[in-house]
Homo-oligomer: A and B are copies of this chain.
Amino acid sequence: MQVKFWRSIVDTEKNEKQGLCLADMGSFHIGGKDLHVTGKAPREIVVNNKCERRIKFDTNGSYHYGQIYVQYYFPQEEKGKFPIIFLHGGGMTGKSYESTPDGRPGWLNYFTRLGWKTYLVDAVERGRSGWCPEAEEFAEQPVLFNRKYIFERFRLGSDGDAQTLFPNSQFPIEAFANYQMEFVPRWTTSSDLMVDAYCELLKKVGPAIIIGHSQGATLGFELMERVPELVKGFVAMEPYGAGTEEGVDIIKNIPLLWIFGDYIQLHPSWKQAREVAGAYETKILAKNGNCQILDLPVKGINGNSHMLMMEKNNLQIADIVQAWLKEQGLCI
Which of A146-154, A231-239, A286-294, A317-325 is the contact stretch?
Answer: A146-154
A28 and B183 contacting across the interface, CB-CB below 8 Å? no
Q: Give complex CA distance A51, B64 in Å.
A: 25
A188 and B25 contacting across the interface, CB-CB below 8 Å? no
Q: A178-B28, A181-B32 are in contact. Are A188 and B47 (CB under 8 A)?
A: yes
Q: A46-B188, A130-B144, A180-B64 are in contact. Are A109 and B25 (CB under 8 A)?
A: yes
Within 8 A of B (CB), among A21-70: 21-29, 32, 37, 43, 45-50, 57, 59-64, 67, 69
Q: A45-B188, A191-B49 are in contact. Are A95 and B128 (CB under 8 A)?
A: yes
Distance between A243 CB and nearest chain B CB, rounded to angstroms: 16
Q: A28-B99, A57-B143 are in contact. Are A130 and B184 (CB under 8 A)?
A: yes
Per DSSP, chain A at the interface is mixed
Distance between A142 CB and nearest chain B CB, rounded to angstroms: 6
Does A11 touch B at the CB level, under 8 Å?
A: no
Closest 4 CB pairs of A and B: A61-B146, A26-B99, A29-B181, A130-B184
Q: Report which A residues bind B (CB closer than 8 A).
A: 19-29, 32, 37, 43, 45-50, 57, 59-64, 67, 69, 71, 76, 93-95, 98-99, 103, 105-106, 109, 122, 127-128, 130-134, 137, 140-144, 146-149, 177-178, 180-185, 188-192
Q: A27-B98, A93-B127 are in contact. List 17 more A-B contacts (CB 8 A).
A: A19-B21, A20-B21, A26-B106, A28-B99, A28-B103, A29-B181, A46-B140, A46-B188, A47-B188, A48-B191, A49-B137, A50-B192, A62-B146, A63-B144, A64-B177, A93-B128, A122-B128
